Chains A and B, each alone.
Chain A
Amino acid sequence: MALHWLFARRLAPWLYLAPLLAMVLLFWLTPIGLTVYLSLTNVSYKNLVYFIRGEMERISFTLRNLQNVFLGKDPFIASVAEVTLIYVCSVLAINAFYSLVLSIAIAFFVRSEALSTFLRVTWLLPRITPSVVYGLMWLWLIAPGTGPLYSLLAHVGIHPASWLLDKPYSQLLMIAINGYVGVSFGMIIYTAAIKSIPTDLINAARVDGASDFFIARRIILPLLKWPMLFVVSWQTLSLIASYEYILIVWGGGAPGTESVGTAWAAGVMVFPLYAWFQAFALGNYAYGAAIALPIVLLGIGLILLYFKVFGFQKLMQPARIEV
């Protein structure tokens, strides 16, 4: 009897949760543990094979990697951190706030259904375009002399020798490329939330004498508080770990090595890209892991913060509006 009770109350829940816990362990905790472990070694392409075979006596442990990253012994870390900060903040502003303005404009101000759909599709296109094609499209757009966007901007007096290499134009380009592709996520969330505001509420405000602009500011915007928090949290998490478009457009590169990529010269080297480049282009796996560590720690910290501030349940209801 007691045994049966014990099973039902204590063990059964864990049994049901076991597959999920196994997944968390396998795909989340293991990589984190591995990252920490690896960052404490000197594993590179030279001795990777021993690491894989588990011949740990042929691998040495060192704090050098962590010192390089966290104590700034690597002279380039500071500039990577600075670029990352610029990158995350600017792209986040576009992805979370510009997309909000855009969604309200498209879902509320534009009365024509056809125009509204057209505008929505324009902003969704980069999302459904393969990354490589999207990257190439930008390279073509800003090609000096021939690119349509280059010519257009040259007309209004903006004509750097190279959009790819000249700071701060290269950094603006980085923000534009990542901003444009990231707008669609916020837009989908916001548009759904705006559409779920009861029409009566908007009509009541109109009858009360409100203009469209007043309704957008005083009725729609406050009702989008939760979707906004959701988009900001989600986008921050994905931005601190993203580098794919920068890699496609600029390539990698690390100073002081035989491979000086354009990303360095252009000032668009962000943390995850630096980690990727160290690990997979230069073969410094241990140092790559060490560079990735701040991102992992920041991510965990943010997740804990979000859960604490917004409450787990609230965060799990993306389209929630306060009605």
Chain B
Amino acid sequence: MVRVKLDRVSKYFGRVRAVDNVSLEVMDGEFVTLLGPSGCGKTTMLLMIAGIYKPTKGRIYFDDEDVTDIPPKDRNVGMVFQSYALYPHMTVYENIAFPLRIKKLPKSEIDRKVREAAKLLKIDHLLDRKPGQLSGGQQQRVALARALVKEPDVLLLDEPLSNLDALLRVYMRAELKRLQKELKITTIYVTHDQVEAMSMSDRIVVMNEGKVQQIGTPDEVYRNPSNIFVASFIGTPPMNLIRCTYDESRNVLKCPNFEYELPSAWREALSSRTSDELVLGVRPEDIEIGVESPNAKARVLVVEPLGKDVVVTLALDEETSIKAVARAGTQLPTGEVTGLRIPLEKVHVFDGKSGRALI
């Protein structure tokens, strides 16, 4: 097992900056997730770590060894591709045995390892089939077995669960996590599904347009998003972002149809703002509805039941609507005006221009 370090790594395809100046250190045995929207450079990052792409700039290290110029076959990396990339002309057995046959292991040892890996992933009854005869979930497990069988130092997983149905996905999520902890393999996992990222990772790397937005534990990126992108990308429903204007003399935020008083202790933090346009961020589940002493008033637009909760859409004024989560059974007739409390300890304030978190 190794520690993977990326030092100011960039990858350009012509004028496209697929990955832009990324630094990252993944600890030995850690499970790190690259999370970001489609096209943000996640696959490109993995392919650089695997050695398929050479970075345009920057260096990559496994432990203290600079592997930037080392070809994939000498890196001992296991990878599950977004498309699974199973060899269509080989059986499941031959697919899993492929990396071992390249290593020229004795036949008996190959056989033992293939059967072991197949058993671990519960595909031992499929060994004689061709990939074309497997379901998406089975193919994914074959791809995983092929990646694991060579006992890699680093495991790279590119959206391995994206083709599975919801039920199988939840199951495989737990399986993967259990396997990774059991085998203690340094793992870099790619997804654009934030729930997946939150539930599996030791740390999350949030990316957008080739750049790292934030690196932190799931809790950190959830509680202290470092900018508006992270705040809006993580959490369902996403954080409410209300455009307000800062009145420095009174230390209040003038928001649509309400004013939000700030503690004087925040003055200093807010002094680094680029303009008076600030964004007040509050998660739907942190807003209290129908309270006695409200910060703001809003009209109920829609109430969507969501199992044990309801998601309420509220209009602050003509243009601004926000979402709040309340317990199921809360009586909220649509059209009615209700009082909201936005608790001070739960709010975030972002710079309106740069998007950077100020509070």
A interface with B by C-beta (< 8 Å):
198, 200-201, 203-211, 214, 218-219, 222-223, 225, 322-323
**B52:A223 contact, CB within 8 angstroms:** no
Among B95-103, B281-289, B315-323, the stretch that binds chain A is B95-103
User: Contact flags (1/0) for B35-66 with A, using CB distance below 8 Å?
Assistant: 00000000000010011100000000000000
B127 contacts the other chain (Cβ, under 8 Å)? no
Q: How far, in angstroms, from A322 to B88 measured CA to CA in the complex? A: 7
Known contacts being A209-B99, A214-B102, A322-B89, is A204 close to B79, with CB within 8 Å?
yes
Among B70-78, B208-216, B263-271, B303-311, the stretch that binds chain A is B70-78
* Closest 3 pairs (CB-CB, A-B): A204-B85, A200-B85, A208-B99
Name the residue on A nearest B99 (C-beta). A208
**B83:A200 contact, CB within 8 angstroms:** yes
Q: How far, in angstroms, from A200 to B87 measured CA to CA in the complex? A: 10
B82 contacts the other chain (Cβ, under 8 Å)? yes
**A207:B102 contact, CB within 8 angstroms:** no
Known contacts being A198-B83, A201-B87, A322-B88, is A207 close to B98, with CB within 8 Å?
no
**Can you list 21 residue pairs at the A/B interface with Cβ under 8 Å?**
A201-B87, A203-B50, A203-B85, A206-B71, A206-B72, A207-B50, A207-B52, A207-B72, A207-B77, A207-B79, A208-B99, A208-B150, A210-B73, A210-B98, A210-B102, A214-B102, A219-B87, A225-B89, A322-B88, A322-B89, A323-B88
**B47:A203 contact, CB within 8 angstroms:** yes
Name the residue on B nearest A321 (C-beta). B88
Name the residue on A nearest B75 (C-beta). A207
Name the residue on A nearest B82 (C-beta). A200
Q: How far, in angstroms, from A198 to B83 measured CA to CA in the complex? A: 9
Q: How many residues of B contact A (CB 8 A)?
A: 23
Chain A facing B: main interface SS: helix
A-B interface pairs (CB < 8 A), number: 59
Distance of A297 from chain B, by nearest CB (Å)? 36
**A208:B98 contact, CB within 8 angstroms:** yes
B81 contacts the other chain (Cβ, under 8 Å)? yes
**A203:B52 contact, CB within 8 angstroms:** yes
Name the residue on B nearest A214 (C-beta). B102
Name the residue on A nearest B98 (C-beta). A208
Q: How far, in angstroms, from A222 to B98 measured CA to CA in the complex? A: 14
**A201:B85 contact, CB within 8 angstroms:** yes
- Chain B residues with CB below 8 A from A210, complex form: 73, 98, 102
- Chain B residues with CB below 8 A from A200, complex form: 81-83, 85
Known contacts being A203-B47, A205-B98, is A211 close to B85, with CB within 8 Å?
no
- Chain B residues with CB below 8 A from A198, complex form: 83, 85
Q: Choose among A204, A208, A222 the residue that contacts B102 (Cβ–Cβ < 8 A).
A: A208
Q: Which of A209, A214, A219 has the most CB of B within 10 A?
A: A209
B146 contacts the other chain (Cβ, under 8 Å)? yes
- Chain B residues with CB below 8 A from A322, complex form: 88-89
Name the residue on A nearest B146 (C-beta). A208
Q: How far, in angstroms, from A208 to B79 measured CA to CA in the complex? A: 8
- Chain B residues with CB below 8 A from A214, complex form: 102
Q: How far, in angstroms, from A209 to B78 measured CA to CA in the complex? A: 10
Residues 139-187 of B contacting A (Cβ, < 8 Å): 146, 150
**B88:A223 contact, CB within 8 angstroms:** yes
- Chain B residues with CB below 8 A from A323, complex form: 88
- Give me 17 other A-B pairs in contact (C-beta within 8 A), A198-B83, A200-B83, A204-B81 excluded: A198-B85, A200-B81, A200-B82, A201-B87, A203-B50, A203-B52, A203-B81, A206-B71, A206-B72, A206-B73, A207-B52, A208-B99, A208-B150, A209-B73, A209-B99, A219-B87, A223-B88
